[in-house]
Structure 1
Amino acid sequence: MDAEQLINSITPEVYERLVYAVETGKWPEGTPLSQQQRDSCMQAVMLYQSKHNSQAQHMTIGQGGEMVFKSKSELKKQFQQDQGDIMRVNPNLD
């Protein structure tokens, strides 16, 4: 299977599982990945992002295979816009 076929065979659900595996070192069911499996998952995630990632985060692979970096000011602006999505918790209340 070539890279294009691999990218086209990855569904959004599979992509989420791969991202979870790369981030945690285990599958969602809890089975640990070997280093080789984790490396392969990372490559698949990067390939998928290179084709489908139109809203790249701080350091990701954007559409077209370009590495995308956001400046500190861009990230601050994005986080400020997302503040409404954050639930506030007052740790002083019992």
Structure 2
Amino acid sequence: MQLDAFLEKMTPAIHQALKLALELGKWPDGRAMTEEERDVSLQAVIVYEHEHLPESERVGYMPAKCKSSGTSSEEDGSAEDATILRFRN
């Protein structure tokens, strides 16, 4: 089946199943995805999301301005956003 034909038949349930398979690297039956299967599945997910979902819900979406784009607490000398992690044995 060609990608275009598959995309015409793709449903939201298939989209979610493909996303989960890509996240886990294996199909629902436990078989590992081949590199070719990953490539084609990722391509299908990206095209489906481009055609059916708003930009903010697509894979890889980053808001125009993220927290790291502003001045950090290290740059301005304040430590209000800093969190200290301590590990115990």
TM-score category (smaller protein): 0.5 to 0.7
Among candidates 62, 66, 76, match of residue 72 of structure 1: 66
Identity within the alignment, % = 26
Moved over 6 A (4+): none
After superposition, the CA RMSD in angstroms is: 2.3
More strand, by proportion: 1
* Structure 1 portions without partners, runs of 5+: 61-67, 74-94
TM-score (norm 2): 0.59
Which structure: larger Rg?
Answer: 2
TM-score (norm 1): 0.56
Amino acid at match of 1:41: S
Higher relative contact order (CA 8 A, sep 6+): 2
Deviations 1:8-67 (CA, angstroms, capped at 9, x unpaired): 21011110111011111101221111011011100000010111112524853xxxxxxx
Provide closer, same or farther for how the CA distance between residues 54 and 9 of structure 1 changes in structure 2, counting only shifts above 3 A.
same
Distance 1:58 1:50 in 2: 7
How many residues end up aligned between the 2 structures? 65
User: Do 1:26 and 1:32's aligned partners in 2 also have CA atoms closer than 8 Å?
Assistant: yes
